[in-house]
Amino acid sequence: MSKYDFKSIETKWQKYWEENKSFKAERDSSKKKYYLLEMFPYPSGRIHMGHVRNYGIGDAVARFMRMKGFNVLHPIGWDAFGLPAENAAIQNKTHPAKWTEENIASMQVQLRSLGFSYDWDREIATCRPEYYRWNQWCFLQFYEKGLVYRKKSQVNWCEACNTVLANEQVVDGCCWRCDGEVEDRFQEGWFLKITDYADRLLEGCKTLSGKWPEQVLTMQGNWIGKSYGAEVDFQIKEKDEAIKVFTTRPDTLYGATFMVLAPEHPLTRELSRGTGQETAVDEFISKVKQEDNISRTSETGEKEGVFTGAYAINPLTGEDVPVWAANFVLMGYGTGAIMSVPAHDQRDLDFARKYSLPVRVVIEPEEGSLDAATMTEAFSANGKMARSGSFDGLSGDEARQKVCEFLQEKEIGKATVNFRLRDWGVSRQRYWGTPIPIVHCDGCGLVPVPQDQLPVQLPLDVELGDRGRSPLTTLAEFYETQCPACGKPARRETDTLDTFVCSSWYFDRFTSAGNDQFAFDKDDVDYWMPVDQYVGGIEHAILHLLYSRFFHLVFHDLGLVKSDEPFEHLLT
């Protein structure tokens, strides 16, 4: 019996598949469709066993579904923009475009040699103008819908990468890409209003249950972080200004004996002026700037604070409560200010004991009583309201509802819903990315680039510095332009889009790859979407998968797609 000649047989059939376009997919109403997609790769230049696993699983499913008679779409492309390519190009003293295209060519050969059944006619690369033109189009669609804004805010800055990171790209206080330390900065940038879709993203997790891994859905749900409670105004003593706080336990308001602001809160420094606490507060703020958010909020981290010298008024007791700044309160969640109820929150109790602040029990257990002077563990469970005026004896949801009604009636607060999720900061101060299609005009303000002028092309004749600072900020040929509205001299936006924008809709583009009139054809996307089986790593549970769901919901609202969710089933 002769040996199986893998090399010649593989070569023969791979050549046959390519010449006969055996895996080319077309719309066919007589067949049931099946869209199989693996998360497309970054073109590093060489595949590894993770690629083989991911794409091998996907290919097995694609071939199986073809054998069952399905019309299978199985495309491939390249997630080609971003920092890795730019940094690698700098290190190797070449251009990111050259580096990326050479890597794509190399990986094409490797993937073809593995015999995966891709429809290569649909191949895309996000760094090419024919793709990122439609990135810019998407941005303008969001802009017209009121889902894009620009503001100065506290951002996550990676010094090593020399750029801003989205909240989702900070892992344990470090950059998700280079593992470098992340610091806080204030600067202007562009944001997508993903928070407008927080409820729908959360509700969508319910419909995906049983189709997606529960771990992924739990991670997304926790990241969105919906919580019910009340917004309450604490009037600042002797000032015509109030501090707004969010609490999930309005029934503990009578026990709020001090307040805590985030060191970054705009009132923290202001309240200390003229109190004799200015120096202490300034020094504390400088100290906290050196700490990362993870250590600041961890249960085991040291809880530190400083008295601002100011007082606020508890709206229910009328008592003066001292206003502190502490490292465990962040501006990125809620209002950046909390009411502290030490008898019923362990962190607040530890802080109160450390700084000799008062403790008042206002929730008693159903049986027995608590001693504020000696308690070492906060009572955080539901119980009967006590030392709370006319609310005494109420408990649980009824207590919280009655307090919220009272706050609303007195116009000092209201019941509300809060989310951990924050808007997506998409500005990046690097070169290798999609140029943001906005022009800054002294007379007209922010002006979108007309769609018939897209793409705003990334200039290729540039030199990248050793630190990777974007050359777009100094390249007059790029940033000098005319205002599309008034025709006067104006300045083009020099930030580029977060590379995750590229991957938030590429699955839609695959349905109409090569179409130069639309990002995707309505008939094509309605036939093929949603993706029936998506394959990729769980490390993308929050970043890519959440952003993709957000984009798809917006497309749905714009009437561009008919499905609510982009991926019917997920395998990680």
> pLDDT digit string (tens) for 5-31?
888 899 999 999 999 999 999 999 999
> What pLDDT, on a 0 to 100 scale, did the predictor assign at position 494?
96
Between CA 249 and CA 341, with CA 195 as vertex, the angle to 5 degrees is 15
Residue 467 in this model has a pLDDT that exceeds 70: no
Q: And the tokens for 563?
A: 């499905």
User: What pTM was estimated for this model as a whole?
Assistant: 0.87
> What pLDDT, on a 0 to 100 scale, did the predictor assign at position 216?
97
Please report how many Cα atoms fall inside a 13 Å half-sphere around the Cα of residue 332, on the Cβ side.
26
In this predicted model, what pLDDT tens digit does every residue of 188-235 receive, in sequence order? 999 999 999 999 999 999 999 999 999 999 999 999 999 999 999 999
**Which of 153-162, 337-346, 499-508, 526-535 is predicted least confidently?**
153-162
Domain assignment present for 252: yes
What lies within 8 Å, CB to CB, of 443 at 6+ separation is 483, 486, 488
Consecutive H or E run containing 183 = strand 182-192
Alpha-helical segments (H) within 389-539: 396-409, 476-479, 499-502, 506-509, 522-528
Give the pLDDT band (50/70/90) at residue 1.
low
**Which of 39-43, 177-181, 343-347 is predicted least confidently?**
177-181
> CA 90, 94, 97, 99: dihedral to nearest 10 degrees?
-90
Give the pLDDT band (50/70/90) at residue 294.
low
Residue 45 in this model has a pLDDT that exceeds 90: no
Residue that is written with structure tokens 């593992």 in the block: 179
86 φ, ψ (degrees, to nearest 5):
-65, -45
Q: Tell me which residue range forms the domain holding 405.
A: 226-419
- Burial of residue 301, with CB atoms counted within 10 A of its CB: 0-12 exposed, 13-18 middle, 19 or more buried: middle
Domain assignment present for 217: no
Residue that is written with structure tokens 């998407």 in the block: 138
Q: In the 3-class helix/strand/coil scheme, how is 307-340 assigned residue by residue?
A: EEEEEEECCCCCCEEEEEEECCCCCCCCCCEEEE
Between CA 252 and CA 257, with CA 255 as vertex, the angle to 5 degrees is 135
Q: Is the peptide bond before 530 cis (omega within 30 degrees of 0)?
A: yes
Give the pLDDT band (50/70/90) at residue 469.
low
> What pLDDT, on a 0 to 100 scale, did the predictor assign at position 486?
97
Domain assignment present for 121: no
Residue range 43-52: average pLDDT? 89
Query: 115 with 79: CB under 8 angstroms?
Result: no
In this predicted model, what pLDDT tens digit does every residue of 92-147 receive, in sequence order? 889 999 999 999 999 999 999 999 999 999 999 999 999 999 999 999 999 999 99
Residue 176 in this model has a pLDDT that exceeds 80: no
**Choice between 258 and 173, residue whose per-residue pLDDT is larger:** 258
What lies within 8 Å, CB to CB, of 326 at 6+ separation is 260, 261, 263, 303, 304, 305, 306, 351
- Burial of residue 491, with CB atoms counted within 10 A of its CB: 0-12 exposed, 13-18 middle, 19 or more buried: middle
Residue 415 in this model has a pLDDT that exceeds 70: yes
Residue that is written with structure tokens 């040996």 in the block: 3
CA distances from 322 to 236, 325, 338, 358 (A): 10, 10, 12, 10
Domain assignment present for 26: no
- Chain centroid offset of residue 441 CA: 29
Query: 434 with 132: CB under 8 angstroms?
Result: yes
Domain assignment present for 388: yes
SS3 80: coil
Residue 468 in this model has a pLDDT that exceeds 60: no
CA distance 204 to 96: 38
Task: Specify whether the backbone of 16 is left (phi greater than 0), alpha (psi in -120 to 50) or beta.
Answer: alpha
SS3 283: helix
Q: What's the number of domains the chain is made of?
A: 1
> What pLDDT, on a 0 to 100 scale, did the predictor assign at position 88?
87
> What pLDDT, on a 0 to 100 scale, did the predictor assign at position 168?
64
Residue 455 in this model has a pLDDT that exceeds 90: yes
Residue 46 in this model has a pLDDT that exceeds 60: yes
pLDDT over 70, % of the chain: 98
> Which residues in 355-374 are b (16+ Cβ under 10 Å) and which e?
bebebbbbbbeeeeebebee
Domain assignment present for 255: yes
pLDDT over 90, % of the chain: 80
Average pLDDT of the chain is 93
Domain assignment present for 543: no
> What pLDDT, on a 0 to 100 scale, did the predictor assign at position 558?
98
Domain assignment present for 387: yes
CA distance 170 to 184: 11
* CATH code of 341's domain: 3.90.740.10
